[in-house]
């Protein structure tokens, strides 16, 4: 017979694969097999199912499995952060903030993932002011927001067609220790092109190339189409 610890470890390895691929349905099925074969679960078992739920952007399932974890093993900051991330991925940033507050009250450590998840959640929801608010909170907590966090701010402004604000934020990145990447410039170029501001789009495109970053064919096409639309209107 395989020792129960080994059986649990083997099942958790499968659950980890499900979590990595965001396959929540398969993760739950494997949890069912563990119950059928009387294999013991541990905190990692529930954690991996929660990770799968988060990647699947299923906040309700993440919270349900957090409840199971809390009932059997107690909660921890890692599990709470997973639920927070699930809420953000599901486009429910206010719920993510509620979990953040819950963690604060429980005096649980709040790492960069908690902040970056909320920033991403507000970007998905198209709320640029909130993305900026939480990025500044992250900085105030002595954490360095990644380029991904800054790109989320750019994306939120871009979605709202606020090209000036997106450009200002990109300039802030350039002036700071955060090095913009292809996605940073592409977001602002595409937003400028969509807003039919081809000169601004072309200027950011040139700056992108000057920095050794390679624009995609789609980005070039967006700028060309913007020029064409403005040119046709002026004729």
Which H/E stretch holds residue 182?
A: helix 182-194
* pLDDT score for 148: 95
* pLDDT score for 141: 95
Q: What is the rounded CA–CA span in Å between residue 1 and residue 195?
A: 67
* pLDDT score for 134: 97
Calculate the alpha carbon distances from 33 to 28, 56, 73, 164 in Å: 9, 21, 20, 55
Q: Which residue has the tokens 């699930």?
A: 86
Burial class, 47, CB count within 10 angstroms (exposed 0-12 / middle 13-18 / buried 19+)? buried
CA nearest to 59, candidates 27, 24, 110 = 24
Q: What is the rounded CA–CA span in Å between residue 81 and residue 159?
A: 27
Global confidence as pTM: 0.85
Would you state the structure tokens that stand for residue 5, as one six-digit string? 């610890």
What string of pLDDT tens digits covers the 235 residues of the chain? 545 566 999 999 999 999 999 999 999 999 999 999 999 999 999 999 999 999 999 999 999 999 999 999 998 899 999 999 999 999 999 999 999 999 999 998 889 999 999 999 999 999 999 999 999 999 999 999 999 999 999 999 999 999 999 999 999 988 888 899 999 999 999 999 989 898 999 999 999 999 999 988 888 888 888 888 776 454 3
* pLDDT score for 231: 66
């Amino acid at each position: 017979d395989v020792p129960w610890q080994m059986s649990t470890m083997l099942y958790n390895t499968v659950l980890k694969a499900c979590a990595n691929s965001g396959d929540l349905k398969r993760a739950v099925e494997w949890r069912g097999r563990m119950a059928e074969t009387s294999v013991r679960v541990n905190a990692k078992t529930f954690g991996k199912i929660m990770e799968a739920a988060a990647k699947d952007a299923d906040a309700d399932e993440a919270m349900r499995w957090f409840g199971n974890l809390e009932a059997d093993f107690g909660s921890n900051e890692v599990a709470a952060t997973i639920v927070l991330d699930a809420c953000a991925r599901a486009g429910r940033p206010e719920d993510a903030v509620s979990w953040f507050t819950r963690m604060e009250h429980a005096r649980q450590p709040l790492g960069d993932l908690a902040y970056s998840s909320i920033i991403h959640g507000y970007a998905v929801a198209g709320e640029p002011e909130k993305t900026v608010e939480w990025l500044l909170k992250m900085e105030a907590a002595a954490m360095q927001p990644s380029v991904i966090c800054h790109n989320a701010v750019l994306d939120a402004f871009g979605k709202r067609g606020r090209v000036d604000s997106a450009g200002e934020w990109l300039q802030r990145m350039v002036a700071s220790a955060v090095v913009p990447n292809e996605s940073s410039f592409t977001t602002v170029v595409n937003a400028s092109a969509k807003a039919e501001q081809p000169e601004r789009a072309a200027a950011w495109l040139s700056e992108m190339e000057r920095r050794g970053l390679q624009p995609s064919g789609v980005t070039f096409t967006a700028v060309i189409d913007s020029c064409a639309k403005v040119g046709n209107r002026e004729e």
